[in-house]
Amino acid sequence: MSLEALRDEIDKIDEVIVRLLDSRARCAYSIGRLKHELGRPVYEPAREAAVIAHVRQVNEALGGPLDGEAVARLYERIMDEARRIQRLEAERDAREKAQSAGQDGTA
């Protein structure tokens, strides 16, 4: 396979990855809304440790060139962004509730 063909293949794979990341972020957004409604914290270390353990296990089963530490670092960053999305949503909800309370005279 030529260099150009391999690069084209990477571009196609990257498009799939971005779509999957978008789907994951949308799910994280929904989780953040539920956490807020349930009064749960955005950061849940036990859940994040379970996610890391799971993706390491999947990676090991695949036997590819990425080692477990590399996969863990990638997922730590992905989860950082998910927490950021959840925090932004919680802040937006709090602002909207404060504005709503101020408008109906209950503030």
For the cut 80, the answer to whether the pLDDT of residue 104 exceeds it is: no
| Global pTM value | 0.84
pLDDT classification of 105: cutoffs 50, 70, 90: low
Q: Count CB neighbours of 42 within 10 A.
A: 17
For the cut 80, the answer to whether the pLDDT of residue 107 exceeds it is: no
Measured CA to CA, the distance from residue 27 to residue 39 in angstroms comes to 18
Q: Tell me, what's the pLDDT at 103?
A: 80
Name the more confident of 101 and 76.
Answer: 76
CB-count burial class (<10 Å; 0-12, 13-18, 19+) for 100: exposed
Q: What is the CA radius of gyration of the chain?
A: 19
pLDDT in tens, 47-69: 999 999 999 999 999 999 999 99
pLDDT classification of 5: cutoffs 50, 70, 90: very high
